[in-house]
Amino acid sequence: MRQKYQWIFTEALKLKGVSIDYKVEWQAYRFLLNEKMFAYLGTNNQDKEILTLKGDPADNQLMIEIYDYVTEGYYMNKIHWISIRLDDRKLPSEQMVVEQLIKSYQLVFEKLSKKHQQKIRQ
């Protein structure tokens, strides 16, 4: 999966302070900022490839209503997280996925203490 979605890893690692690990028990990659997850790349219970991202509740609801390939966050809080089915026939554009990845990162960054934000900016 990492090779197939290398572009997601590349875009995430462009963001300051990001680390990525593989959680064996989830069989998924976690994208972290200061040990706080902002993205999850794995599969759902139907073995569909998904990218789960943090988002604004109103924006999340709108995306779920508009896009067939966006659902409530798999194994996450259904209000604050969405999952994008990457292997859907109506594939989302890479640009849209990257925009949502950056928004998710920013939401987590904004919740960090000013001290941690400053460290990351350096």
pLDDT of amino acid 88: 66
Opening angle at CA 45, ends 66 and 23, nearest 5: 105
Distance CA 33, CA 31 (A): 7
**Are the C-beta atoms of 52 and 39 separated by less than 8 Å?**
yes
CB contact at 8 A, 41 and 31? yes
- Distance, in Å, from the CA atom of 108 to the CA atom of 122, rounded to the nearest integer, reads 17
| Lowest model confidence (mean pLDDT) among 48-57, 81-90, 110-119 | 81-90
Measured CA angle at 46 (ends 68, 102), to 5 deg = 55
Task: Note the pLDDT of residue 49.
Answer: 94
For residue 75, the model assigns a pLDDT of 83
In CATH, the architecture of 6-121 is Alpha-Beta Complex (3.90)
Average pLDDT for 107-117: 96
Average pLDDT over residues 53-80: 93
Does position 92 have pLDDT exceeding 80, yes or no?
A: no
Sign of CA dihedral 8, 13, 102, 61: positive
Alpha carbons 18 and 8: distance in angstroms, whole number: 12
The mean pLDDT value for 51-77 works out to 93
Q: What pTM was estimated for this model as a whole? A: 0.93
